[in-house]
Amino acid sequence: MITAEDRQLGRAKNALMFYLERHLIVPKIYLDANWGGHHVDILAIDRAGVGDVHAVLFVGASRINGESLDIEKLKLAVDRMIDQFILISANYKYIAIVNPDDCSLTEMSKIKINEKLFSPDGLGRIGFILLGSVTEADSEVKPVLLVKPERFRAKIAKLADEFVQKHEADWEIRA
């Protein structure tokens, strides 16, 4: 049986897939992908699999042992996500913050100012997307881009080609 947290995460993933569909050119989108040996909540390969790779990791109440989400717990969770992203090779990296109802936008701005968001070589910055109201069944989940990601240096064309050949996309635009 599906839990409330699973349903919330599913709604957040669905909203983010729509967001990526609108902002990318002919993306192939994969849910819960094993990308280069690492779990990625959403993986989008743009231009029908021959372009940029966008990787998304989610953080939210359901990812923090189901406890209520406060700004300090959120900062710690985001910091762990940033550490995970060091190991994940992608052109664009996003942390999607799910359902931060207990956190104001002012508090949210405190977590995004972090030197760890930037690549050590200066090429690339992790972006933040806020997905609120996933607990209200009748409301539309609208992603809000808090920090725009910047392109990371990543030599992953061969990996992207192999991934597209071996995996069927969960969501794709047919052009």
Tokens representing 159 are 């990996």
Domain boundaries, the chain: 4-172
Please say whether the beta carbons of 147 and 128 come within 8 A.
yes
Please say whether the beta carbons of 142 and 12 come within 8 A.
no
- For residue range 59-117, list pLDDT tens digits in order: 875 544 555 556 777 788 888 889 999 899 999 999 998 865 555 555 666 666 678 88
- For residue range 130-159, list pLDDT tens digits in order: 887 666 666 777 888 888 999 999 989 999
Which residues have CB under 8 Å from 51's CB, separation 6+? 25, 45, 160
